Chain A
Amino acid sequence: MNFLSLFVLIPLLMLFSLWLAKGQKGIRTVMVVGSSALLALAVALTVKFISDRAGGAAEEMLYTASFVWFEPLHISYSVGVDGISVVMLLLSGVIVFTGTFVSWDMCKEYFLWFTLLSMGVFGFFISIDLFMMFMFYEIALIPMYLLIGVWGSGHKEYSAMKLTLMLMGASAFLMLGIFGIFYGAGGQTMNVVDIANHTGGAQIIEFSKQCIWFPFTFVGFGVLGAMFPFHTWSPDGHASAPTAVSMLHAGVLMKLGGYGCFRVAIYLLPEAANELSWIFLILTATGVVYGALSACVQTDLKYLNAYSSVSHCGMVLFAILMLTTTASTGAILQMLSHGLMTALFFAVIGMIYHRAHTRDIRQLNGLMRIVPFLSVAFAIAGLANLGLPGLSGFVAEMTIFVGSFENADTFHRVFTIMATTSIVVAAVYILRMIGKILYGVNLNPEHAKLHDAHWEERFAVICLIVCIAGIGLAPGWLSDVISDSVAPVIDNVKSVGHLLSQSNPFK
């Protein structure tokens, strides 16, 4: 049992101790201790990983361990991390940690589901076995229903049901894709690395099969990554979810989508990725602009942020499909930065909603005078969102654009430029929102006496801001960690074929 499994064991322990915990104090203690343990573990892992890489550990996956689980089906409990998963684990650690503080007054059941959710997320990122990935993916999905349905707001039952069903529908596609990959590779191993490198009894998957299963896998994960046109669960879901849940969902869960697309679809089906990427490229580029434009006219803060998430996550998938190392590095960076900033955004929006009991832009004015701390945090989140240098968004977007420009053909150029326009639109909707709700003078007497953030809220918000600014100021090491792990995947893709496929009518 290697130490990666702690990422699953700690949440399990948390579940049990929550079960036994008595009273709000006990619950909080368990949650704080557990989540900080997870965060510490993630940080330690990152440090260790970097030092080991520096020490010359050249394997694709470090700290791998594999235990046969279902011997007859070649399913094994195999874990391992590369730079991408390390970064994602770090992100999850931060979000879970802050999410705990944001949902400070919640009851025991809430935290039970919350912890189950985070267990799924962590498990997903450490596992390198297709079955395990899929299992943890679904573990992470289902608590959403109760979290939104019970503790949500607005037309929560509808949103929760829609979210759950759409994501489960996606996982139907995904499961089929996994079967296709597994049996396409000879049905000897479910280990991602083995399948990719044709070791451990895995054969090369035939091109025709790849072209069948790539769409299934990509759509299966893409829906969770809010891929246009399967994104409509996200606005409603986010709008109805309680604060910490929107944080966790937009911050981490949606990242499962991008991660899976990269780790499974692109990594295991390289030829099909070359052949079919253009279709999804069109979809995602559309989604990027589409989400940004529809964010411009939203009046509900959470809807606005949800649509901007559609735009940014679309950017992630878009960059992945560019199939260049730089762009994919940018995609991972974008996942990280979007995770942090959208979590911050949802946290602050939730706090404002909790006080003002409305999220309608037209009814909120002049918050800067009333709740300065929250307003400043909100403004920072907004600026990060529109890619202000010095904050994380800028780094990610620039990397993506530079990487996308490495594809010199017209097709990719056109869609890259199309995607770049989204940063202008982002400025439009962000500044519109900030100008409307933070600036000006408060006209609503009820809002005149709102109290500013509590200490735990301040703590969570500050943590997030520090992370965002940290990435924004010193991105170099992160980018190195990521690109080291991205490179083999992309080289694998590049090695098997030319990017612009025969099937692309636009070439």
Chain B
Amino acid sequence: MDYSQFLYMHDEISLIAVIVILFLADLFLCGDRKSGTVSKALSLLPVGLLALQTAYIASALLCPCGDGMSEAFGGMYQNTPVMTLVKVVLNVGTIIVFLMADSWMKRPENQIKVGEFYMLTLSTLLGMYYMISSGHFLMFFIGLELASIPMTALIAYTKNNQESAEAAAKYILTALFSSGLLLYGISLVYGTCGTMYFDELAAKFSPADTLQLAALVLFISGIGFKISLVPFHLWTADTYQGAPTTVTGYLSVISKGAAAFVLFTILVKVFQPMVEQWNTIMLWIIIFSITVANLFAVRQNNIKRFMAFSAISQAGYLVLGVMGGTAQGMTSLVYYLFVYMVANLGVFLIINVTEQNSGKINISDYNGFYQSNPKLSFIMTLCLFSLAGIPPFAGFFSKFFIFMAAFNAGFPVLVFIALVNTVISLYYYLLIVKAMYIVKNDAPIAPFRSDCYTKTAIAVCALGVVLGGIVSCIYGYIDTLSYGL
């Protein structure tokens, strides 16, 4: 066996390196947990390392060797530029989450377990890497599980918090259930085709085979659980609400995004012969995800739970790009993922910093927020408008493009339903804006100063929200890559 093949997975290996370094640092640097200096080092280290690693991956994109495609272990591991790009996007998101987490990590009760947070997060990220560039169902399954198992620990991170534990329990139980079904589906695939290599499967599938159709549905359900699509979404709200805000942010963007991308690639690459079937399935799933989530979001008061439902409906919009499985859809999906990540993390940053400083997480607490903290509420408004798809913010562009893709793929009715739903979503986003600007409140959240990490992260997000759309080269660049299916 040729071990040089490992070099093809430089993304993963570099990430593993980061994890290892962090592990060692956590072991040796932090002999004494009580001193703040160490934890400062430990909070800077992951960000720095991850930034380095991101730069390393991105460099491969900027100066592509050959066509940028690479394959290892007989096609078990595949990598294309667009996959690398997605990994970069996920990295950026993770960096923002780390920046967000800092103030939370500095809390005394977390001093003891700072390192774990970073390592667990990074290992889920690693799982997503493998999931993304898997060329074989085994690789895919391992990646999926690697992405979800440490997540449980993260959700349950605040040990003595009942809600956190309950959230984790619901998450892991549903995850087990879905992975059971997924595994069964994969077994059916194996049973009917005799192989689990993506490249070979497409040839062996036929829409006539009942077992294979069942496998398709089971696969979609397993990954739909990660993306939290209706009807596999029910864990989402509870988990998001119970989990620590930082983790919620991570959940709502990174794992969701990776899974959506994988859904696209596998449906297009593997289940190509059954395109009509999975179009039908996705059609209904999307309609229900958007509508039901919007209906639930309308009357939430806890802002994290609210964001959970918003995230579900956003996921619905996200997978609009899957319809038809066109290159345009792929581009707009990745673009949407990027924009959505920026905006959503922006909102979570502000939720988090507010929670850290005032401990308030109800929408009604935000009444009169503009009077006390104008800057924060302004950024929040930008991000919410972006989520709602209001120009000139990036969200408008991403929504427009993904609708365009779906329309072009031949689903005008679906697009129309989604468009009508944007009105509802605008309604509930405006509810928060209303709370911040319009509703009078004699005791609003007291003014506070956010730490420099959060400030940096917020700046990044705001920049992304404002420029992400107008600067058209982003979309253009993704488009140049998205041939790599």
Contacts and interface: CB of A to CB of B under 8 A. Distances in A.
Interface of A: 69-73, 75, 131, 134-136, 138-139, 142, 145-146, 149-150, 156-157, 161, 164-165, 168-169, 172-173, 175-176, 179-180, 182-183, 187
A269 B290 CA distance: 32
B396 A72 contact: no
Contacts of A136: 391
Contact of A138 (B390, B416, B423): B390
A70 B475 contact: yes
A172 B422 contact: yes
Interface stretch (B98-106, B125-133, B336-344, B400-408): B400-408
Contacts of B412: 176, 179-180
A161 B427 contact: yes
30 contacts: A70-B401, A71-B472, A72-B328, A72-B475, A72-B479, A75-B472, A131-B400, A135-B391, A136-B391, A139-B390, A139-B392, A145-B433, A146-B433, A146-B437, A149-B437, A161-B427, A164-B430, A165-B423, A165-B426, A165-B427, A168-B422, A168-B426, A169-B420, A172-B422, A175-B400, A176-B412, A176-B415, A179-B403, A180-B412, A183-B408
Contacts of B396: 135, 138
Contacts of A71: 472, 476, 479
A175 B391 CA distance: 13
B185 to A, nearest CB: 35
Given A73-B401, A142-B385, A179-B408, 7 more contacts: A70-B472, A146-B433, A146-B437, A150-B437, A172-B423, A176-B407, A179-B404
A271 B400 CA distance: 27
B331 interface: yes
A139 to B, nearest CB: 5
Contacts of A139: 390-392
A182 B407 CA distance: 11
Contacts of A150: 437-438
Interface of B: 328, 331, 385, 390-392, 396, 400-401, 403-404, 407-408, 412, 415-416, 419-420, 422-423, 426-427, 430, 433-434, 437-438, 472, 475-476, 479
B430 A161 contact: yes
Contacts of A176: 407, 412, 415-416, 419
Contact of A169 (B407, B423, B475): B423
A71 B404 CA distance: 14
Nearest to B482: A72
B426 A164 contact: yes
6 closest cross-chain pairs (CB), A and B: A172-B419, A72-B479, A179-B407, A135-B391, A149-B438, A169-B423
B175 to A, nearest CB: 36
A145 B434 CA distance: 9
Nearest to B427: A165
A165 B396 CA distance: 16
A352 B392 CA distance: 36
A156 B422 CA distance: 23
Given A169-B420, A183-B407, A72 B438 contact: no
Contacts of B408: 179, 183, 187
A72 B407 contact: no
A172 to B, nearest CB: 4
Given A71-B476, A183-B408, A157 B423 contact: no
Nearest to B399: A175
